[in-house]
Structure 1
């Protein structure tokens, strides 16, 4: 018999659901304008201690402006930014308990790794003994002890990234801001570093706020994601909720792949809702959304929710017939582009459990595409 675990089960981390929790940072009706251009538009959001909070959105959506205002490099046009209940607008950047790690890393090329890490401490007037002790702790933390005397140009991209991270953490900030910190790394190193960042953040008990345009990165590292568009936070939620329950077509389309169908609600039959598109069959839908008969909505269905088969599926699910138009092979998965009789194309993603040469579905094959009654998310906008 296996040993009974002695550690307590991991508690759910969701301070934003506790009305008694006080936020570490509060953006209160914050607007930032550059002339006639509004970069951040009347934004209000709470960020809690020990969160790994991600700002996600396309270029120009306002996410870096938000980060720079929090760091003190920009001032809000209106509104307040509070930290532990105190308005920090009058506090200069170097006096805030906040550090920022830039995308370029901004390491001093003439300094060694140890000197780069200790630079901020030296500027604060710390003694040499204090600096040396803290630098040693940071080198050990990011596993760069053998590289202490090297210059930045003698390091790999991943090592330079860790030096910049160690320098940002050396002053023990309450909040660490990361502006596209992994953008310069290759895919495998970026994935490895994401998990290192998560482990580091959790072990140190710090609050991290990351800006990224990489959806997968945001989904991997964060406790909550704010999806931004044109200076507005369109949806703020956990990665799972953002992906599985987007509140708009914009969010659904921005996070991962998605299929959209425009349908009309025909009638309610018990727990099920019968809907119909302009050209396809009637479908059944089970949802918590309060849909009205006659209402037109969009159904968002993720590609992995579809099942493609040559044989007709069981009757307890939705299904349509089509022909395989194209196949995108991605190693572990394949994405089937299935063209339906009305010209609509659905994307279905399935795991490659067999080798490609033994795949039983290929181009031009007639197939069925099926999905469960709860797979589709109805969206009004």
Structure 2
């Protein structure tokens, strides 16, 4: 995960580069963005993450100036963007399709924006060469887009977007067209380039793994609202709602009623089953609805009853997903609930002792999960 050394958002004196102030955007009767307020800081790699139709692309189009807010204000570097057309903003946008000119060479594609600005020949040459070096494309400068790979085309689009040294670069699903392996490699290249240039990147993606890899902060969105903004580690380990916990990674969710006991909370969740014990700083009232979210890698599985576990439940193995480095066991409890437990595969396949239909115990500590109100 791209955890930066800086965390400007925690500094009360830091001035945001981008400010959304009570922004609402309607298309006819449909509200795409609903009273949204959010700051994004200089040099951040900020990810907008959410399902299709949650409003993330609308936010980006408003930053670029292609759409105007119905209500509220957007500031970039302290300037109200209300009457600033797209071509006058210190913002560049990189589209999913890359939108390269097929008849121009890689070099000319990168130089295109600089030539239109009327920069002198020497300045253009120097800047294009710098961009080619940065994106490791120097030896492809004379080729046309159809003569290079998808990953290289993606880097040309990036070099062209960065050539004009924008304060802000918007990336709309930039890696969507690449296969998984290339996408992973390109994510690290993007982080590297962002760090070297110091440009603020805002990326729109529905790929949680991508957001978690590249971003300094992630905004999880749903129906035009931001549900939680935090670093990838905080989003994963301390989600603020069932929606966020469920959207990021794999998770088990058990719902029940709270029974506070000092610092711990017992969850009454099923007739005839022991309460689940959790630790939280949130205050829960007795009988209040409560949700317990726990990641599969924090659930242990064994054939023997664990003696000293804070939480242990009996069940049988319903399914096993073998993913090479890890195995995920789907364990069915007597109540019909299915809990996933994950183990690292440190041994060869033939040496494993748990298989389908086996009776097993699953166990976890009282601090392994998160207790959520909503």
Alignment of 1:224-303 (within 5 A): 224-268=217-261, 270-279=262-271, 280-303=273-296
**1:56-85 CA distances to partner (integer Å, 9 max, x unpaired)?**
001111100100100111111111110121
Deviation at 1:314, TM superposition (A): 2.9
Whether the 8 Å contact between 2:300 and 2:362 is mirrored in structure 1 is yes
Alignment of 1:303-322 (within 5 A): 303-322=296-315
- Cα distance in structure 1, aligned partners of 2:307 and 2:142: 66
What is the SS of the residue equivalent to 1:185? coil
Could you list the runs of 5+ residues in structure 1 that have no partner in the other structure? 1-9
Q: Which residue of 1 aligns with 2:129?
A: 136
Q: Which residue of 1 aligns with 2:197?
A: 204
Q: Which residue of 2 aligns with 1:3?
A: none
Q: Does 2:158 match 1:165? A: yes
Q: Which residue of 1 aligns with 2:317?
A: 324
Q: Which residue of 1 aligns with 2:371?
A: 378
TM-score for both structures, normalised by structure 1? 0.95
Aligned equivalent of 2:93, options 92, 97, 100: 100
Q: Does 2:322 match 1:334? A: no
What is the SS of the residue equivalent to 1:109? coil
- Cα distance in structure 2, aligned partners of 1:196 and 1:361: 41
Q: Structure 1 residue runs of 4+, over 6 Å off?
A: none
Q: Which residue of 1 aligns with 2:60?
A: 67
What is the SS of the residue equivalent to 1:55? strand
Aligned equivalent of 1:36, options 16, 29, 32: 29
TM-score for both structures, normalised by structure 2? 0.97
RMSD over aligned CA atoms reads: 1.2
- Cα distance in structure 2, aligned partners of 1:13 and 1:314: 44
What is the SS of the residue equivalent to 1:285? strand
Count of aligned pairs between the two proteins: 371
Could you list the runs of 5+ residues in structure 2 that have no partner in the other structure? none
Q: Does 2:123 match 1:126? A: no
**1:8-56 CA distances to partner (integer Å, 9 max, x unpaired)?**
xx98321111111110010111111110011111110000001100000
Alignment of 1:77-92 (within 5 A): 77-92=70-85
Whether the 8 Å contact between 2:4 and 2:216 is mirrored in structure 1 is no
- Cα distance in structure 2, aligned partners of 1:209 and 1:50: 10
- Cα distance in structure 1, aligned partners of 2:299 and 2:138: 49
Deviation at 1:273, TM superposition (A): 2.2
Deviation at 1:376, TM superposition (A): 1.7
What is the SS of the residue equivalent to 1:211? strand
